[in-house]
C-alpha cells in the first residue's frame, strides 16, 4: 500500500504526466456531461419507454457503449460508435482497395489521409444512423414527450433538421475529444471514451445485483461474494488473453554500415495470441442481430421458433452460433491485420532470418513458417475469446442480473481490460523515463544520467 502511495506521489511530481492526466480527466468530464444533455424539443422526464427499450438486445449494447446517452435522448446519443464503424470499414477496405493499401504504406502522411477519410465516413454513417434514431424516438416515446406540436408538419420538420445537426455535431465533438485525449492526454482517447461509458453503467448494475442478493433468501450474500471472485478470475484470464504472446527468435546477420560492423544481434518477433482484439466479438454480434432485425418486420416472424431461439441471449443455439462466428472472425481479422508476407519481406531486406528449426530460409519459407505459427496460436486464442464472449450467458443462467452479467465477459470486459492495460503502460513509461519506479515493475535508475 505504501508503494502505491509513493507511486501516486511520483506521478504528481512529473509535471508533464500530471498535466496529461488532468487534461484527460477534464475531457472525460466534458464527454460525460454532454451525455446528460437532452435533445431540444424532448421532455427529459418522459423517457421511460426509451429506457425500457434499451434494457437489452442491440439497443442495450449501444446504450452501454454510449454510457446511457442513447436511452437519455442525449445530444451525444450516437456517441463515438459511428467513428468506430468508420474505422472498421476503412480497415476492411484496406484489404481490397489499392489506394488505401498505398496510403497505409506511406507512413505519417498516409495515416493523416486515412484519418481524414475516416472522419468523412463518420459524418456519412452518422447521417444514416441519425434519421433512424429520430424515427425510433418518434415511434417509441408518447406524444407528450415532445415539446412541440406533433400534428404540425412544420414542427416535425424543424425537430428533425435540428436533431440531425445536433447528433452529427455531437458525434464529431466526441471524436474530437477522443483525438485530443490521444494527443495531449494519456491512453487512446477513442477507446477511453468507450470504456468510460461502459464503466458508467457498472455502479447501478452492481447496486441492483447487491440489493437483489441481499433481499433473497438462501445465502444471497455468499452468492454475491462468489460472483465477485468469479469476475476477478475472468479479468485475470482476459489479461492473459490480451497480453499473451509467442516470441520467435530472429538473428540479424553480420553487416557493414559506414565501416562499422554489426552482427550477431538476436531479437524476437512477438506474435500475439489475440491479435484481433475485441473486433471479432463486435463483428459476430452485428451478424447475430441481422435475422432478429429482419424478423421484426414480419408479422409472422415474431412467433416463429427460429426468432425465439435467437432472441434468447442466454439460450444454447444463440451462444453456440455466436461462439462459432467469433472463432471465424478471429481468423479473418488476424489475417487482414497481420501480413506475414510483408514481415518476411522486411526481414529479408534487413538480412535477418528465423533461427528456429536450425534456421528458416528467407522469403517464402519464412512467410510460410510465420503463417503456420500464427494459425496454431490463433486457434486456442480464438476458442478462449469465444469462451469469454459467451460468459455473460452463463452468468445470466446462474441467476445474475442481465445488466451486471455483461461485465462477466464479452465486449465490455475486453475493452475495459485492454484500455486499462494500455493506459497503465503509458503511465509506466513516463515514470521509468523519469527514473521512478513503474506501476507494473521496478524501474528505478541512478540520477547520474539526468
446519443: which residue's cell?
77
Q: Contact, 439 vs 431, CB < 8 A?
A: yes
Q: What ranges do the domains of the chain cover? A: 1-200, 209-408
Strands (E), 200-330: 245-252, 255-257, 260-262, 265-272
Q: What confidence category does residue 300 fall into, taking pLDDT thresholds of 50, 70 and 90?
A: very low
Please state the rounded mean pLDDT for residues 230-245.
80
Q: What angle do CA 408, 287, 292 make, to 5 degrees?
A: 95
How many CA atoms lie within 13 Å of 101's alpha carbon, on the beta-carbon side?
8
pLDDT in tens, 111-142: 889 989 999 999 998 988 888 888 888 888 88
DSSP 48: H
Which of 121-125, 153-157, 345-349 is modeled with the greatest confidence?
121-125
How many CA atoms lie within 13 Å of 182's alpha carbon, on the beta-carbon side?
12
Q: Determine the 3-state secondary structure of 199 from DSSP.
A: helix
Residue 340 is predicted with a pLDDT of 82
541512478: which residue's cell?
446
How many CA atoms lie within 13 Å of 357's alpha carbon, on the beta-carbon side?
10
How far is 56 from 238, CA to CA, in rounded Å?
Answer: 24
Q: Determine the 3-state secondary structure of 33 from DSSP.
A: helix
273 vs 163: which has the higher pLDDT: 163
Q: What ranges in 66-201 are assigned the alpha helix state H?
A: 81-96, 98-104, 108-140, 153-184, 189-200
Taking only Cα atoms into account, the Rg of the chain, rounded to an integer number of angstroms, comes to 25
Please state the rounded mean pLDDT for residues 81-107.
82
* Element at 352 (helix H, strand E): strand 352-354
> What does the block give as the cell for 45?
422526464
In this chain, the answer to whether the domains covering 1-200 and 209-408 adopt an identical fold is: yes
How far is 251 from 432, CA to CA, in rounded Å?
Answer: 28
Please state the rounded mean pLDDT for residues 263-277.
70
Quick check: 155 pLDDT over 80?
Answer: no
Q: Contact, 166 vs 40, CB < 8 A?
A: yes
Closest CA to 288 of 52, 53, 57: 57
How far is 418 from 368, CA to CA, in rounded Å?
Answer: 30
Quick check: 34 pLDDT over 60?
Answer: yes
Residue 265 is predicted with a pLDDT of 56
Closest CA to 277 of 337, 190, 196, 192: 337
Quick check: 169 pLDDT over 90?
Answer: yes
Residue 252 is predicted with a pLDDT of 60
The CATH class that applies to domain 1-200 reads mainly alpha
Please state, in angstroms and as integers, the Cα–Cα distance from residue 218 to each residue in 195, 206, 213, 221, 261, following that order. 35, 19, 9, 9, 74
Please state the rounded mean pLDDT for residues 141-165.
79
Interstrand relation of 245-252 and 265-272 (parallel, antiparallel or unpaired): antiparallel
Please state, in angstroms and as integers, the Cα–Cα distance from residue 324 to each residue in 58, 201, 238, 330, 410, following that order. 19, 28, 19, 10, 14
Q: Determine the 3-state secondary structure of 354 from DSSP.
A: strand
How far is 381 from 334, CA to CA, in rounded Å?
Answer: 11
Residue 180 is predicted with a pLDDT of 92
Q: What confidence category does residue 289 fall into, taking pLDDT thresholds of 50, 70 and 90?
A: low
DSSP 79: T
Interstrand relation of 245-252 and 352-354 (parallel, antiparallel or unpaired): antiparallel
Closest CA to 78 of 174, 171, 176: 171
Residue 322 is predicted with a pLDDT of 87
* Residue 429: Cβ-neighbour burial (10 angstroms; 0-12, 13-18, 19+): middle
Lowest mean pLDDT among 43-52, 252-261, 327-336, 398-407: 252-261
pTM over 0.85: no
Percent of the chain with pLDDT over 90: 10
Residue 292 is predicted with a pLDDT of 56
Cross-strand pairs, 74? 38
Q: What confidence category does residue 151 fall into, taking pLDDT thresholds of 50, 70 and 90?
A: low
Quick check: 405 pLDDT over 90?
Answer: no
- Could you tell me which residues come within 8 angstroms of residue 391 by beta carbon, excluding any fewer than 6 positions away? 234, 408, 409, 410, 413
DSSP letters, 372-438, are HHHHHHHHHHHHHHHHHHHHHHHHHHTT--HHHHGGGSHHHHHHHHHHHHHHHHHHHHHHHHTTS--
The CATH class that applies to domain 209-408 reads mainly alpha
Which of 161-165, 198-202, 318-322 is modeled with the greatest confidence?
161-165
Amino acid at each position: 500500500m505504501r508503494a502505491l502511495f509513493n507511486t501516486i506521489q511520483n506521478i504528481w511530481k512529473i509535471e508533464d504526466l500530471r498535466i496529461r492526466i488532468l487534461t484527460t480527466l477534464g475531457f472525460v468530464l466534458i464527454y460525460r456531461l454532454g451525455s446528460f444533455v437532452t435533445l431540444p424539443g424532448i421532455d427529459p422526464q418522459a423517457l421511460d419507454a426509451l429506457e425500457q427499450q434499451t434494457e437489452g438486445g442491440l439497443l442495450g449494447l449501444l446504450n452501454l457503449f454510449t454510457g446511457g446517452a442513447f436511452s437519455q435522448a442525449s445530444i451525444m446519443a450516437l456517441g463515438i460508435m459511428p467513428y468506430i464503424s468508420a474505422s472498421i470499414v476503412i480497415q476492411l477496405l484496406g484489404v481490397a482497395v489499392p489506394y488505401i493499401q498505398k496510403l497505409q504504406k506511406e507512413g505519417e502522411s498516409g495515416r493523416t489521409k486515412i484519418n481524414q477519410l475516416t472522419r468523412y465516413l463518420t459524418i456519412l454513417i452518422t447521417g444514416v444512423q441519425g434519421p433512424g434514431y429520430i424515427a425510433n424516438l418518434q415511434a417509441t416515446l408518447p406524444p407528450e414527450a415532445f415539446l412541440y406540436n406533433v400534428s404540425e408538419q412544420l414542427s416535425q420538420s424543424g425537430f428533425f433538421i435540428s436533431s440531425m445537426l445536433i447528433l452529427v455535431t455531437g458525434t464529431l465533438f466526441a471524436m474530437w475529444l477522443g483525438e485530443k485525449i490521444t494527443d495531449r492526454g494519456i491512453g487512446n482517447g477513442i477507446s477511453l471514451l468507450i470504456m468510460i461509458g461502459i464503466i458508467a453503467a457498472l455502479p447501478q448494475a452492481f447496486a441492483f445485483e447487491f440489493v437483489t442478493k441481499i433481499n433473497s433468501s438462501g445465502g444471497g450474500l455468499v452468492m454475491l461474494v462468489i460472483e465477485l471472485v468469479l469476475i476477478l478470475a475472468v479479468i485475470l484470464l482476459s489479461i492473459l488473453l490480451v497480453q499473451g504472446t509467442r516470441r520467435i527468435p530472429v538473428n540479424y546477420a553480420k553487416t557493414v554500415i559506414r565501416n562499422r560492423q554489426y552482427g550477431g544481434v538476436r531479437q524476437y518477433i512477438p506474435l500475439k495470441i489475440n491479435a484481433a482484439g475485441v473486433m471479432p466479438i463486435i463483428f459476430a454480434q452485428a451478424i447475430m442481430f441481422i435475422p432478429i432485425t429482419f424478423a421484426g418486420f414480419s408479422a409472422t416472424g415474431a412467433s416463429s421458433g427460429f426468432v425465439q431461439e435467437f432472441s434468447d441471449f442466454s439460450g444454447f443455439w444463440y451462444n453456440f452460433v455466436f461462439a462459432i462466428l467469433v472463432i471465424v472472425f478471429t481468423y479473418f481479422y488476424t489475417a487482414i491485420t497481420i501480413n506475414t508476407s510483408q514481415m518476411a519481406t522486411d526481414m529479408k531486406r534487413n538480412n535477418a532470418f528465423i533461427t528456429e528449426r536450425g534456421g528458416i530460409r528467407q522469403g517464402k519459407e519464412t512467410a510460410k513458417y510465420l503463417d503456420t505459427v500464427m494459425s496454431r496460436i490463433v486457434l486456442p486464442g480464438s476458442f478462449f475469446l469465444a469462451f469469454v464472449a459467451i460468459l455473460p450467458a452463463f452468468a445470466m443462467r446462474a441467476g445474475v442480473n442481465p445488466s451486471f452479467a455483461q461485465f462477466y465477459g464479452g465486449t465490455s470486459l475486453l475493452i475495459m481490460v485492454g484500455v486499462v492495460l494500455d493506459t497503465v503502460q503509458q503511465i509506466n513509461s513516463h515514470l521509468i523515463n523519469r527514473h521512478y519506479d513503474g506501476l507494473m515493475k521496478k524501474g528505478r535508475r541512478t540520477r547520474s544520467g539526468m
